[in-house]
Amino acid sequence: KKIKFKYFDIDVNKTKKYRKDGELYCESPIALTWDDENYYMLAWDSAAQKMKHYRVDKMENIEITEEDRVLSDKPFDLSNYSKSMFQMFSGEETDVSIEFDNELVGVVFDRFGTDIPIVKKDEEHFICHVKVAVSPHFLSWIMSFGKQAKIISPDYVVEEMYQLACSFYISTGTVYTNIDISGLSENIPAAMEIVEDLIYNAVPDEDILENLKEDILKERADAKLSQDMCFGALQEYIFFG
């Protein structure tokens, strides 16, 4: 049977913030898995035609419905899915301080747990202190957030990022995907290793996707209230139909 539930994130004040304004989710459960001291429910979203995962401790008002589950026609490999979705950073651990945009707090709590110490830097950023293995996978994870995340200590990790003196940009079209890497020529191989790790070990993140959707919807709503935007759209309609 399908189940209904509410799902929430934790904000920078460590208070609950319900997804979809508290609207109930309705999903077809597949399996229950354990990773890094957290239980996750894996479910098939028939509307989106993809597998999703939810942390069980962030689910509330769970209710079993009378509606039968709708499952994918493709075979499902729990082991491979768990490896791709819940891979963690391996190697010798180091205490690292990272600055994040506030909107990534849910991603941080999901990755490192809600018990990690965080400090408010300003109205838009916070700093967290975590113990993590500094590996190419970790660096690519940080780089994947662009300007929304920055390592601030220890110095040798900051220096490792700084010495690369490289940046990358990925753009997608209907036919091609372009990857641009720029920086010092002697550091391009190391930068390529990080970018390749990011591409080959990319992990979909529902929190970031939901934040992106909310940002897009807010931008559209704000545009409708802007006289300049409305006037510009009217001009385009007059010229181009």
Most confident of 61-70, 85-94, 108-117: 61-70
Res 127: pLDDT:
92
8 Å CB contact between 120 and 82: no
Q: What is the mean pLDDT of residues 14-38?
A: 84
Per-residue confidence band for 198, with pLDDT thresholds at 50, 70 and 90: low
pLDDT digits (tens, 9 = 90+) for 147-163: 888 888 887 766 766 66
Nearest one of 144, 138, 2, 168 to 69, comparing CA atoms:
2
The token pair that represents 58 in the structure block: 């962030």
pLDDT exceeds cutoff 90 at 54: no
Quick check: helix, strand or coil at residue 23? coil
8 Å CB contact between 214 and 222: no
d(CA 172, CA 170): 7
The token pair that represents 177 in the structure block: 């995907």
8 Å CB contact between 105 and 120: no
pLDDT exceeds cutoff 60 at 91: no
Q: What is the mean pLDDT of residues 103-115?
A: 80
pLDDT exceeds cutoff 80 at 206: no
